[in-house]
Structure 1
Amino acid sequence: MGSGKRDVWSPLTILPFAMMAVVAIGDVLAGPGTGYLPLLALGPAFASLAGGVARTAAVGVLALALCAGLARFNHILSSRNSTLTFISLIGVTAAGMLASFYRERDERELADVRTIAEVAQRVLLRPMPRRVGPIRAAVRYISAAAGARIGGDLYEVVMTPRGVRVIVGDVQGKGLDAVETAAAVLGAFREAAYDEPGLPGVADRIERTLARRLTGEQFVTAVLAELHPDDRVTLLNRGHPPPLLVRAGRAAEPLDPPEAAPPLGLSGLVDEPACTFSVGFAPGDQMLLYTDGVVEARNGKGDFYPLTERAASLLDADPETALDTLQADLLRYVGAPLDDDAAMLLLTTERA
């Protein structure tokens, strides 16, 4: 953001005036002949770090006025040294104004790029309906710290003739490339979820889409799920953190796949295709799918957020309330903005 939105009382804003005050007081106390006046150039130099062009110029003018007053006080106003000091102050102020101009321009461009990426990401991640067929769904997306780059977290829930199908994933890397890859994955999933008879076919369609986009060792971790009417859920995990299954009165159970499988985009590294597996998913059960920004969040001591231990006690029967509680607990545990974007998708069926 531009300097106009910075706190007027921030340390970097006060520092130029504090430095010039220290130099002026030191020069007066030291008396004539000490030669502190060139240090007044620290004022406009520090002003260019946080202030805009106008503020840097104003600090430079103030430094020149202080220099003139102190030179008169020391009876050296017309001396060669004072003239060189004036020239130095003018040069430092001009350089600071130029640096401020380029810094503000770069900050505006960076803010514009980030805004475009955020808008693109929000367009991709469409609002989640509260009910998809027999399934109640809720989602929370937590943006990272302002300094972090936009990530490629993705999620989608669709109703198909074969049941409710779900994807939660995370694109390797950051920035607009990650957002574009997430768009490609979601587009392929939305098409394949209606057409393919099984989750492996859906994953293969996404793989073919990624093969036209990704280069080198880029990849996308993802979990695909299909919820069946007979109280079962089929899962296909491609290198993603395992979903958590929470049954009433029981601890959260990580749904680890029977065999590890590579992320989407890296299937050529193995000979055998990834296997699906099924677990019971009865009315009242809850399944939490999430991205690694949740479990890799750390507190001030460097400890990871213990999602598995906390999920069972925090998930309310209402998905919206449950995720509000879980998100608040996560942010309270970290005590600061997250370093990476985090997404959480909670699915449940109502009891008959």
Structure 2
Amino acid sequence: MRAVSDGGPGRRRNQLLRVRGHSVAWLPPLLLLLAITGVDFHTTGEFRIISWIVLVPGIAAAICGVGLTAAFAVVALVTYFLADGAWPHQYRIGLPDFILVGIGGLLATLACAVRVRGERHMLHMRDITETIRRTVLRPLPPGWGGLDHAAVYLAADSEARVGGDFYDIQPGRYGTRVLLGDVQGKGLGAVEAAAALLGTFREAAYHEPDLLTVARRLEIRMRRHGLHVTALGREDGDRFATAVLLGFPVDAFDVVEAVVFGHEPPLAVGPDGVRHLPPGDGLPLGLGELVADGLPPLRRVPLAPGTTLLLTTDGVTESRDGAGCFYPLADEVARAVAADPHAADPGRLVALVRDGTLGHCGGRLADDTTVFAVRRLDETP
């Protein structure tokens, strides 16, 4: 499962103005028109407010479509003419305010047209962003690769909905491989780098028998991507990415292979409690040429049946409260699992961490946040 921002302000407004699936956006301007007309008729001649009816198309412009706004502009003009003409001559407001209501209706209709065009453009851009997000963070079928899995992704920029965090599961001939990472920086450049790494992972994880070879392919891909970006004259060719690469071999159900590229190691959450997997002591992807070996070591870690591996990005580990304290991830997970062993289920675990992170930082995410949990299906008690 994934958690992303809802549709923009226009979409939220439209949802609020619907009852049983039907739009009631016409109701507020209609009530305002009736209220102004009623008050005008029930007050003395010295207190005429019928010219306030110019507010009606203005309100409609903010919440209705162009056609309905134009209709309210016409209705307001006709109502003004009839209401003002119903009074004795000495109490009539007259032609100046009639012109004011007409011009106000015209301007409101034009403003509504601009607003609708902007909302359509915004929705179109959000559709494009959603397509990009689904390309980078593709939907994963239940039980994909023999793993029970769940994921939550929260973009720090609620309107962008996509950033440099990435994750995937790739089953293959030599087992199932899992990748989670975080590209340094933000913006479309980070998304582009994440997409490049995921493309390489999906091919190498399927074909390569050795997990270290997959890791080497990822390192080379990150360097090549940087060279390509630099050749284009861009200034973000020095990006790097922290990542965790896991392997679940087909011939060993009681171990997991791990290569950690400068990332927080996963948490193993299961019947034996909560513990960190050993750190990889490696540099992030793209920086391997700075050391002699170039790659972090591959570690084979024993894994008890029913153990869930919890992987997170900086949005969780660097979340701070008002006092500047980091979110105590391991302690919170250990406390929850001790109270209820089923809290280690991937779906419940990512929901627990998501809610805990948002509660700890007061909903103000400083970085994109990904919570990803995987567990062998054939190891589930």
Q: TM-score, normalised by structure 1?
A: 0.73
1:287 counterpart residue number: 309
Q: What secondary structure is seen at the aligned counterpart in 2 of 1:88?
A: helix
1:151 aligned to 162, 165, 171, which one?
Answer: 162
Kindly provide the CA deviation profile for residues 167-191 of structure 1, in whole angstroms up to 9, marking residues without a partner as x: 1124467776655443222112234
Alignment of 1:42-191 (within 5 A): 42-76=55-89, 82-124=94-136, 125=138, 127-128=140-141, 130=143, 132=145, 136-141=147-152, 148-152=159-163, 153-159=165-171, 164-171=176-183, 179-191=191-203
1:237 counterpart residue number: 261
Change (3 A) 1:74 1:327: farther
2:330 aligned to 293, 308, 315, which one?
Answer: 308
Matched residues in 1 for 2:351 and 2:150: separation? 14
Change (3 A) 1:292 1:63: farther
Shift of 1:246: 1.6
Matched residues in 1 for 2:280 and 2:26: separation? 58
Alignment of 1:25-44 (within 5 A): 25-28=38-41, 30-34=43-47, 36-44=49-57
Shift of 1:236: 1.2
> What is the count of residue pairs matched by the alignment?
344
Q: Which amino acid aligns with 1:308?
A: A
Matched residues in 2 for 1:351 and 1:40: separation? 67
Shift of 1:192: 4.0
2:235 counterpart residue number: 216
Matched residues in 1 for 2:89 and 2:326: separation? 63
User: Quick check: 1:346 aligned with 2:374?
Assistant: yes
Q: TM-score, normalised by structure 2?
A: 0.68
Change (3 A) 1:118 1:246: same
Shift of 1:112: 2.6
Q: Which amino acid aligns with 1:286?
A: T
Kindly provide the CA deviation profile for residues 197-249 of structure 1, in whole angstroms up to 9, marking residues without a partner as x: 446513322312431248435554422234464725323134x4542112413
Change (3 A) 1:306 1:107: farther
Q: Which amino acid aligns with 2:71?
A: A
Change (3 A) 1:345 1:328: closer
Matched residues in 1 for 2:104 and 2:75: separation? 13
Matched residues in 2 for 1:28 and 1:297: separation? 60
Change (3 A) 1:303 1:61: farther
Structure 2 unmatched ranges of 5 or more: 1-9
Q: What secondary structure is seen at the aligned counterpart in 1 of 2:243?
A: strand
Q: What secondary structure is seen at the aligned counterpart in 2 of 1:275?
A: coil
Change (3 A) 1:23 1:126: closer
CA contact (8 A) 1:257 1:277 kept: no
Q: What secondary structure is seen at the aligned counterpart in 2 of 1:280?
A: strand
Structure 1 unmatched ranges of 5 or more: none
Shift of 1:131: 5.8
User: Quick check: 1:275 aligned with 2:331?
Assistant: no
Q: Percent identity?
A: 27
Change (3 A) 1:282 1:241: closer
CA contact (8 A) 2:244 2:258 kept: no
Shift of 1:40: 1.9
1:202 counterpart residue number: 217
2:17 counterpart residue number: 7
